[in-house]
Amino acid sequence: MRPLLYFLSTLLYTAAMAMLVAEKRILRTLQSGGAIDEPSAVEYEPPTFLHTFRLKRLLAKGAVVRTPSDKFFLDQTGYAAYRAGRRRRAIVIIGVALLLVLLLLWYEENKPKPGEDSQYTLVTRTAYQ
């Protein structure tokens, strides 16, 4: 079971890093071209499927805008809102993970020791005897 978990966690981590790199390259291309509003929009052709996927995500969230002439520019306020949403999501995920860890630690501390009867075992034994 552990090798499978290691493999899956490595795979997910690698995929997340590849998506972040693709997103950074898209943003760097737009920023280096000075594409911060419609008149300064630049043409952009995503080099890979991953870049296309991330560009669609940025377009859907309003961080990048496509002009009628099929050029792109970075919307600063939309990008700030996109990053704030990502930050909120990360905080929620970390909070849930921390809560699960604390719950597991509490369970490990309070579970019955081998050879000890738990309260549930005593109740069921007396009910059926």
CA–CA dist 14, 1 (Å, integer): 20
Instruction: Catalogue the long-range contacts made by 58-62 (C-beta closer than 8 Å, 24 or more residues apart).
Output: 58/23, 58/26, 58/27, 58/82, 61/85
Give me the pLDDT at residue 120, please.
57
Give me the pLDDT at residue 59, please.
95
pLDDT surpasses 80 at 100: yes
pTM, to two decimals: 0.70
- Summarize pLDDT for 50-84 with one digit per residue, the tens: 999 999 999 999 999 999 999 999 999 999 999 99
For the chain, which residues make up each domain, given as ranges?
A: 1-74, 89-129
Given pLDDT bands bounded at 50, 70 and 90, which one contains residue 4?
Answer: confident
Helix intervals (H) in the chain: 2-32, 49-60, 76-110, 119-128
Give me the pLDDT at residue 79, please.
94
